[in-house]
Amino acid sequence: MENIIDTIGYCAALLTTLSFLPQAIKTIKTKDTSGISLIMYSMFTLGVFGWLVYGFIKNDIPLIMANLVTLSLAGIILRLKIKYK
Amino acid sequence: MENIIDTIGYCAALLTTLSFLPQAIKTIKTKDTSGISLIMYSMFTLGVFGWLVYGFIKNDIPLIMANLVTLSLAGIILRLKIKYK
């Protein structure tokens, strides 16, 4: 049973982390950022940075890895939103 | 020291959870979803649902509360994206 629970956790982490990849690719290709909320990506990027700091302090490798990926993807989208308003 | 670490965790959770609120409000107001990735919000909503199931199994109240909020906000954005393509 423990294995199934861990698998659900890993799948959830993988999905929520990698979900920002298609958005980053779409935004890089289309430069269409009008519908994207600057406040959302500012708050989200700050929050993910917070999770990264939290992961480092707790020495939690999965938390560090997941949030490093999400931070770079969300950071790309945030920069494009600022650049193309 | 433990308090500071917990505070960082709570702030990170609050920011990443509530960050979807400004995006939901913007999308409801503008109906502008062209720049939003359908694949992202499909993956993200499924992932957040996974975290919710994980939270229920582990009986982890903060995880359940945070992901209930995020699931409803991300669900609104996903429905609007499907409706307004």
Average pLDDT of span B50-78: 94
- CB–CB contact B41 A19 (8 Å): yes
CATH of residue A79: 1.20.1280.290
Structural domain range at position B63: 2-84
Count up the domains in chain A and report the number: 1
Taking CA atoms, what residue in A is nearest to B33? Answer: A35
Taking CA atoms, what residue in B is nearest to A74? Answer: B16
Measured between beta carbons, which residues in chain B are less than 8 angstroms from residue A36? 23, 35-36
Give the whole-angstrom CA distance, residue B16 versus residue A20. Answer: 13
> Burial, B1: exposed, middle or buried (Cβ in 10 Å; 0-12, 13-18, 19+)?
exposed
Where chain A has pLDDT below 50, the residues are none
pLDDT tens digits for range A64-74: 999 999 999 99
- The reported pLDDT for the residue numbered B2 is 77
- CB–CB contact B5 A46 (8 Å): no
Q: How large is the ipTM?
A: 0.89
